[in-house]
Amino acid sequence: MEITVPPFDIKSIAPIILVTITGIVVLITDVFLKKLPKETLGYFSFLAVLITGVIISSQLGTTVYSFSNTFVVDDFSIFFNFIFLISTAIVILMSVTYLRQEGINYGEYYTLILFATVGMMLMAGGADLITIFLGLEIMSISLYVLAGFRRDRLDSNEASLKYFLLGAFSTCFLLYGIALLYGATGTTNINEIGTFITNNHAYSNPMIIMGTCLLIIGFGFKTASVPFHKWAPDVYQGAPTSVTAFMSAGPKAAAFAVFLRVFLVSLPGLETKWSVILWVMSVLTMTVGNVVAITQTNIKRMLAYSSIAHAGYVLMAIVTASSLGTASILFYLLVYVFMNLGAFAVIMVLGKKGKENLQIDDYSGLGYKHPVLAITMSIFMFSLAGIPPFAGFMGKFYIFSSAIKSGYIVLAIIGVINSVISVYYYLRVTVVMYMKQPVREFAPLSLSPFIILALIITIWGTIHLGIFPSRIIEFAQESVLLP
Amino acid sequence: MPGLFGESFLDLIGLVLLFPLAGAIVNGLCGKKLSPSIVGFIGCATVGLAFLISILVFLDLLKLSPEHRLFEKEFFTWIGSGSFTAVAGLQVDPLSTVMILVVTGVGFLIHVYSIGYMHGDEGFYRYFTYLNLFTFSMLLLVLANNFLLMFIGWEGVGLCSYLLIGYWFEKKSASSAGKKAFIVNRIGDFGFILAILLIFVTFNTVDFTEVFHSAPKQLTTGSLVATVITLLLFLGATGKSAQIPLYTWLPDAMEGPTPVSALIHAATMVTAGVYMVVRCNVLFVMSPFSLTIVAVIGGATALFAATIGLAQNDIKRVLAYSTVSQIGYMFLACGVGAFVTGIFHLITHAFFKALLFLGSGSVIHALGGEQDMRKMGGLKKYLPTTYKTFLIGTLAIAGIPPFAGFFSKDEILLEAYTKGNLLFWGLGAFAALLTAFYMFRLLFMTFHGKSRMDKHVEEHVHESPMNMLLPLMILAFLSVVGGFLGFPAASAINNFLAPVVGGRGHIGMVNGGETHHVSQNLMFSMMGLSTGIAIVGIMLAYILYCKKPDLPAQIAGRFKFVYNILLNKYYVDEIYDATIVNPTIKSSFFLWRWIDVRIIDGFVNGVARFVELKSEVLRLFQTGFVRNYALSMLLGGIIIIICALFFL
């Protein structure tokens, strides 16, 4: 038997290799140079992420399949890679001071963040269900550890364990779904699955339908869509704030990347089925997320539910299965990175070791004591609520208009109603900041140049994309999968 | 240097905007921590640099042949949505160049003056932030290459005007004056924005060049669309430029610091309406009806405001009404189709009215805040420099040759007579008589005669510092020579602006006179006549306020009815209050107390309570137990699979 070595193209995975090596170098350096300040590892990782971004921009405009068609570099994956790298870079900036302050300043933190990023990049570029699964697991395992990074805290441990147990549970669904699809089509390559289904008109093959449903469950878990969302509030609340911020941005986007690629490339033939399921899930996700967020008193938990609700908006655009919908998702996820990470950064600035100030009431009177910080927070809240001129408005606008253009008027109306509900809990933060008397003394802020830089970047993104969205929108439109 | 930055200085036009904006940002963010001298330096230097670049741009524009003097620089597509696009782009042409020279030039002088005038004020940095922001917005207004961007500048100057009128917001009168200015302007802005919408609907673009290019082809002269568009535009102009019926905010706006009155409420912002009408001259020419309205409103305002000016005792209010009146002249010129003459008067007015306001500021400064002319008098000997410059300004506004105001005002009267009719000329001429009278009344009451000052005030009277006097002198110089820009025999400004108004300049003697010539005789007899009118006005003022100071009181007593009407500004504010303001407030109270609180809030709160209840219920499902979570995942999955297999 002749064994053929599949041609491989180092260039196409160069960014992934670079991030991986950085992660390993950080890990080894941390072990051998114990005296090295951990912050240095943070800057080093930040720099590596920036360089990776430069390398990725040189790949723009190409579509290269490599490693026996299991990995692809196209504008779609590149757009997502930008989203990942931006969120990773911002999270690193946010973490440097936070880790020291919380007494969890270990070097492996950056390694885990970088490895999770590697997983996300693999997911976005995966052209084969196995590659996608590999990426998803690399990302998830890193996140399980990160969630429990505050080892001495019970809630952090609880978050980690819950996330791991439920994550393992959802992985079973996903793997079983992949197995069923393989059994029915004889391949795990997503292009070939699509071709097989179209050529054989296998639209009502029960194995394929079941496989599709199981994939929805698996991906639905990772994107925290109702009814697979229950882990999210507990994990978001228990994990260290920097990790919560990280989980809400990059990994979520990665899960949507595979959601889009698999459903639009492999399974467009079953659109009549999955679009109905996703329609219902979208409505449930938006509504549950927004409604339950109203009664939350802990701001991290509130943002967890808000993040669930935002997943609902994105699902709405997947339902349309149109290129406009995909473009609006790409834009929205980028916008979400800026505004959500920004909100978390403000939360971190207000926190101190042992006094994290996570109750919404802790924000009372912030507007008088720290006006700049309060305005910053207000901007992020306004943007999350979708109020112009901030980016969140443009993001929602494009998603809703894609739904309307594809004829999903009812879905769009439900989305708008949900948007209105969400204004209540976002603005409550602003109201508390400006219209209530402080309940106690404010401790000095935990400011450092890095978190200030993170805040500047996120504010800039939130405002810039709100006022001048056209360039990024064009880029997103060029990066969609469908013709 | 141009080689470094591109083809020519025209490419640098963005910097003209950038400098004042940068000044506003730096002062706004860090001003509180900077020392006042640095704040003042930043404020002045940024505008000064903008002025320098404006000069370079102007010189570069002169190098081009007249028909090529249009340079557009587009930065980025601001809005692109379907067929609607708006570009963030600037347009350099003779008209906008003239305007940026005036705005940055006069603006720079007033910034310098402000350092002295606002010395020691607590909100020093806030003041300069607003002033720089205003300069930026005004430049954006005149440089924009489309209606929408112009509207941004238009709103920006409105905002800054509001902020600066209410600058001393602890004073109730100041904050209400700011509010009044803002609300009255809203009415005009509403007209403007409707006009922009109608322009977009009609021409499918908001770009100046495209609109003005297709207007003559798409519309017929006198068509309804052209009339409606131009009338709406003019409504916007009446708001911003304080014309009948929306002029009432400007006199109240004198609550702001005096340099602000000079910059915003005399030299630049209030003339934005005139600029806008001239910019849209292509549209206005297509509607003779609108032009007539413009001329009638302009002429009527010129006279109406002048009559009010006769009886006011607050030095700044007299100047405010004179501003309203002078802008009326500019609209009169535009209304008879003499757009260039309107701009010409705008420029000379910027010089002499800024001078007069700054001069009055110097007086107020010297008297420790006193604005009532009845408590002044005899200031000539205390404030010699202020007096001399003020006299020049007064002569200029009264229309005595060879001062700046003479040329522009005389030209307006000439145009009103030749292109319009005797009525327009009559309005203008009578207003000119009144102008000369009330301005010299102001001069005599303030600087001549016996002192009527309080004892302790008189002890502290002092001439202003040099950084306040220097701008006065420069403006005085400009008020002397500014008129020669439009000297009939070689009208520089007419030739320069001719391309913008499509050759419809004024009736020059040498150039641009293809339309119809005016005989030299007519021109000189008109000049003589208007000089005569001015001198009569001055003589009257001299007799009443210098020779026989008791006479005015007697006259006021004799014609008590007329005097009271003038003193109370025709009771227009009271009429507006009774007919519009109070009914609006009353009905809004009704809407608030009944419709909003009872019905709408009741409904909204009901919905909110429902959602909250639902939230409480849903929250119960979040038990915190992993087994429950896993169960719900499983159940969800089963439902999905069953539905997909059997129901879809």
Interface-testing mutation among B616, B628, B640, with chain A (most A C-beta atoms within 10 A): B640
> Which chain B residues have a beta carbon less than 8 Å from that of A277?
640, 643-644, 648
pTM: 0.69
State pLDDT tens for residues B79-105.
777 677 788 888 988 899 999 999 999
* CB-based contact B644 A210, cutoff 8 Å: yes
- For residue B443, pLDDT beyond 80: yes
Reported as a single tens digit per residue, the pLDDT across A232-273 is 999 999 999 999 999 999 999 999 999 999 999 998 888 888
Which residues neighbour A173 within 8 Å (Cβ) at sequence distance 6 or greater?
A: A214, A217, A218, A221, B637
Residue of A nearest to B620 (CA): A292
Q: How far apart are CA B266 and CA A330, in angstroms?
A: 51
CB contact under 8 A, B640 and A277: yes
pLDDT per residue as tens digits for the range B588-602: 888 888 888 888 888
Residues of B in contact with A166 (CB under 8 A): 626, 629-630, 633
pLDDT at B490: 53
Fill in the amino acid letter for B60. Answer: D
The answer to whether B294 and B328 are in contact (CB under 8 A) is no
User: What's the whole-number mean pLDDT along residues A138-165?
Assistant: 93
Residues A365, A433: Cα–Cα separation, whole Å? 5
pLDDT per residue as tens digits for the range B464-502: 888 889 999 999 999 988 888 776 655 677 778 877 776
Query: Closest to A295 (Cβ–Cβ): which among B77, B612, B648?
Result: B612
Nearest CA in chain B to A231: B629
Is residue A390 scored above 60 in pLDDT? yes
Closest Cα in chain B, distance from residue A464 (Å)? 12
Helical residues (DSSP H) of B166-287, grouped into ranges: 172-203, 208-218, 224-240, 249-252, 258-262, 272-279, 281-285
Residue B170 to residue B538: CA distance in whole angstroms: 40
How far apart are alpha carbons B588 and B594 in whole angstroms?
10
**Which of B81, B633, B643 is the best mutation test for A, with the most CBs of A within 10 A?**
B633
B-chain residues within 8 Å CB-CB of A231? Answer: 629
Q: What percent of chain B has pLDDT over 70?
A: 95
Chain B: residue whose CA lies nearest to A165: B626
pLDDT tens string B162-220: 999 988 888 888 888 988 899 899 889 999 999 999 999 888 888 888 888 888 888 88
How close is the nearest chain A Cα to the Cα of B624, in Å?
Answer: 7
The beta-carbon neighbor of B618 closest among A162, A166, A291 is A291
Query: Considering CB atoms only, which of A210, A276, A293 is closest to B645?
Result: A210
Q: Which residues pair with A355 in a beta bridge?
A: A352
Instruction: Identify the pLDDT of residue B484.
Output: 81
Q: Give the pLDDT confidence of A3-46 residue by residue, as tens digits.
A: 776 667 888 899 999 999 999 999 999 999 888 888 899 999 99
Q: Rounded mean pLDDT of chain A?
A: 91
B471 cis-preceded (ω within 30 degrees of 0): no
* Spatial separation of the C-alpha atoms in residues B29 and B41, rounded to whole Å: 16
- Give the DSSP per-residue string, B339-371: HHHHHHHHHHHHHHHHHHHHHHHHHHHHTTS--
pLDDT more than 90, % of chain B: 32
Q: Encode pLDDT of B557-576 as tens digits.
A: 888 888 888 888 888 888 88
Chain A to chain B, count of Cβ pairs less than 8 Å apart? 84
| Mean pLDDT for the stretch of residues A124-133 | 94
Inter-chain contact B636–A173, Cβ cutoff 8 Å? no
| DSSP-derived secondary structure letter, B591 | I
Give the pLDDT score at B506. 41
Q: Which residues of A touch B (CB under 8 A)?
A: 161-162, 165-166, 169-170, 173, 206, 209-210, 212-214, 216-217, 221, 226-228, 230-231, 233-234, 272-274, 276-277, 288, 291-295, 421, 424, 468, 470
B351-372 pLDDT, tens per residue? Answer: 999 999 999 999 988 888 888 8
Residue B2's pLDDT is 45
State percent of chain A over pLDDT 90.
70
Q: What is the pLDDT of residue B7?
A: 61
pLDDT in tens, A448-482: 889 999 999 999 999 999 988 888 998 998 888 75
Mean pLDDT of chain B: 86
The tens digit of pLDDT for each residue in A429-457 reads 999 999 888 877 777 887 888 999 999 99
Rounded CA gap, B104 and B99, in Å? 8
Contact residues on chain A for B612, CB-CB shorter than 8 A = 294-295
